[in-house]
């Protein structure tokens, strides 16, 4: 009889402990899955289209949306006239009016912004974009193209984006040929571009 009572007590104890174990909150073993950053690529490109080329390569590899900045008043088709106008605009920090982007910046976590070098500065259209939007809570990634004269483009783009609330990272410059017969020839190693794009691709929130 005593053995029977002891056996029943052990069985009851085992069941009770088992039920308690089942009711205890389970410890999480997996961290929350990080999500891809929703990306917008914004660029201005005018002559050789080098900035456009980089922007399109970025989109091809990491996805996201892409927008080309367009001024309401187009630049002259004549190259020398456009260059002269661009110089005057840069010197007085002129901000040309832009056509609507067609997207809402609020929908994006990261905004990659590309500019050619105009007289050692960012293109006026890019200055308009960076100075007229709120980037609070967003990551801005500046990149620029040049033909051997980078000037202060990255520094200026970084300062302007931060002034409007952005966190700035992964800024990069890409050099192209200064030879008029092949302005579209990139002198920055292709491997450097690939490594930079992969760095952007692997970023998560």
Q: Digits of tens for pLDDT over the chain (205 positions)? A: 444 544 444 444 444 444 444 444 444 444 445 677 899 999 999 877 999 999 999 999 999 999 999 999 999 988 889 989 999 999 999 999 999 999 999 999 999 999 999 999 999 999 999 999 999 999 999 999 999 889 999 999 999 999 999 999 999 999 999 887 788 899 999 999 999 999 999 987 7
- Ordered by start, the domain boundaries in the chain are 36-201
Q: Is the pTM of this model over 0.85?
A: no
User: What pLDDT, on the 0 to 100 scale, is given for residue 42?
Assistant: 98
d(Cα 133, Cα 82) in Å, to the nearest integer? 26
Q: Which residue from 136, 171, 165, 129 is spatially nearest to 153, judged by alpha carbons?
A: 171
Tell me which CATH code domain 36-201 carries.
Answer: 3.40.50.360
Q: Which residue from 105, 169, 165, 108 is spatially nearest to 137, judged by alpha carbons?
A: 165
């Amino acid at each position: 009889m005593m053995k029977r009572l002891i056996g029943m007590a052990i069985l009851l104890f085992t069941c009770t402990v088992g039920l308690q174990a089942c009711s205890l909150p389970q410890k999480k073993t997996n961290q929350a899955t990080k999500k891809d950053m929703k990306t917008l690529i914004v660029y201005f490109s005018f002559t050789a289209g080098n900035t456009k080329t980089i922007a399109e390569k970025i989109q091809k590899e990491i996805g996201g949306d892409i927008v080309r900045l367009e001024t309401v008043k187009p630049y002259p088709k004549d190259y020398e006239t456009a260059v002269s106008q661009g110089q005057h605009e840069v010197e007085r920090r002129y901000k040309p009016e832009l056509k609507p982007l067609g997207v809402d910046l609020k929908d994006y976590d990261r905004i990659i912004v590309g500019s050619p070098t105009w007289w050692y500065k960012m293109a006026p259209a890019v200055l308009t974009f960076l100075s007229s939007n709120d980037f609070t809570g967003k990551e801005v990634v500046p990149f620029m193209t040049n033909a051997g004269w980078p000037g202060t483009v990255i520094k200026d783009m970084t300062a302007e984006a931060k002034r409007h609330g952005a966190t700035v990272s992964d800024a990069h410059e890409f050099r192209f040929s200064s030879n008029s017969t092949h302005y579209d020839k990139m002198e920055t190693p292709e491997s450097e571009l690939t490594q930079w794009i992969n760095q952007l691709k692997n970023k998560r929130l």
